[in-house]
Amino acid sequence: MEADNNHTTKQKLVVFFVLTVFLSSLFGGAMGFWAGSVSGGGLRAADLWHTLSGKAAVQAPPADNGSSGSGAANKVVNQVDEESAVISAVDKVSPAVVSIIITKDLPVIEQYDATPPGMSDFFRQFFGDNFGDFSSPSVPQYRQNGTQQTEIGGGTGFIVSPDGYILTNRHVVNDPTADYTVLMNDETKHEARVLARDPVNDIAVLKIDGENLPTVELGDSSNLKVGQSVIVIGNALGEFRNTVSTGVISGLARSVVAGESGMGSENLSGVIQTDASINPGNSGGPLLNLDGQVIGMNTAMAMGAENIGFAIPINDIKNVYESVKTNGRIVRPWLGVRYSMVDKSVADANNLSNDYGALIVRGDNPTDLAVIPGSPADKAGLVENDIILEVNGQKVDASHPLVNLISGFKPGDKVTLKVSHKGEEKDVQVTLGEAPNS
């Protein structure tokens, strides 16, 4: 019995010794492989764990120029940071982005039988059973049977004050006979009043009744850069509310015609171009930076193209909003001239000394004078064929049209115009007035 126990003990010792040698060899080989990989820039310590645990290792992309891999790590970190910034901005702004529902009383048309009772039977007595049936569905009769509220379109807006001021595009609320309802992110509805439609720019100001409403933060559009990341939020196709898309600023100071079918249009200049998706229904929604600040208002897309959209810079909108909030209407500065922008082709064709500026010209109708009598321009001595070259030192060109430069001031402000008069340049002091019917 004792001999059997000794034999069993020896067997156990042999097995223990063999297992110890095997595990030691395996561990030593793995550590040697890890050390060689680290010295050669290969596997990381985390990869060793995946190897020993039987899990597939995920190799990091090789770093540029033979570096230690920090470049790839930075790319991952930057990507995560931007993704987090987008999520944070959307969470911050979405409650203040609203859908604008457009409804209108439209006639209800019904089909009816135009044959007086018994009339068909009366005529069949004389002309036979084949006499035409006045009530035949092949010749239907229609009439109006009252009206009903019908949804005819939709757009987007954003709340800029806790008491319910909302900014959107003019072409979204262009129909004065329509009714406008604001649908909040929490599904509540508010009747909206249109306080002002900008006659110059594609901007409108609405008001709903409320207090402590969520609002957006208005940013600064004066220092935007091409390539800067942006976010679009809007009521895409009038159906998918608070749809989010991202992209970059593709261009600045573009000139476009903005509008949607049946909603009117506006000629716009100085707008932001972006490749973030702007779909029908997005009009009037915010264009955001990664801090969640509104830097523009989505207003148009290029038909027949992919990912070419446009937004009005927020700095062009602030003055309109403040004017409506303070005065109850849009108070706009006024110079009082009609003009055509000068470029190289115009300068060459007319032998002009400057290939930029605003050439004061008559309109198409005899009543469309170049300088409005009694206007600030008239009082300052400007005349037809003068070329306005600068406004307070800012060059007047395609990127800075005269109307945009003047709109940055208020009625009563004094500005200095550099004017080319019969080929000679001079400075002209003008006190801006208030635009009539503003």
Residue 280 is classified by DSSP as T
Strands 265-274 and 309-313: antiparallel
Spatial separation of the C-alpha atoms in residues 354 and 388, rounded to whole Å: 10
Query: Measuring CA to CA, how many Å separate 256 from each of 31, 172, 266, 298, 368?
Result: 66, 17, 8, 13, 24
Our answer to whether residue 283 is catalytic in this structure is yes
Our answer to whether residue 202 is catalytic in this structure is yes
Spatial separation of the C-alpha atoms in residues 426 and 382, rounded to whole Å: 11
Report the number of secondary-structure helices (H) and strands (E) in the chain. Answer: 8, 21
Give me 240's structure tokens: 């998918």
Catalytic option among 221, 250, 277, 283: 283
Give me 435's structure tokens: 């635009």
Spatial separation of the C-alpha atoms in residues 28 and 44, rounded to whole Å: 17
Write phi, then psi, for 403 (nearest 5 degrees). -60, -35
In sequence order, the β-bridge partners of residue 218 are: 294
Spatial separation of the C-alpha atoms in residues 357 and 162, rounded to whole Å: 42
Our answer to whether residue 421 is catalytic in this structure is no
Spatial separation of the C-alpha atoms in residues 337 and 147, rounded to whole Å: 46
Catalytic option among 171, 190, 245, 250: 171
Query: Measuring CA to CA, how many Å separate 319 from each of 172, 323, 409?
Result: 20, 6, 9
Catalytic option among 198, 202, 316, 386: 202
Spatial separation of the C-alpha atoms in residues 244 and 94, rounded to whole Å: 9
Report yes or no: 19 and 11 within 8 Å, Cβ to Cβ: no
Nearest to 311 by CA among 366, 270, 365, 353: 270
Contacts 24+ apart (CB under 8 A), 83-91: 85/290, 85/291, 86/231, 86/244, 86/246, 86/290, 88/292, 89/231, 89/288, 89/289, 89/290, 89/291, 89/292, 90/231, 90/233, 90/244, 90/292
Give catalytic residue positions: 171, 202, 283
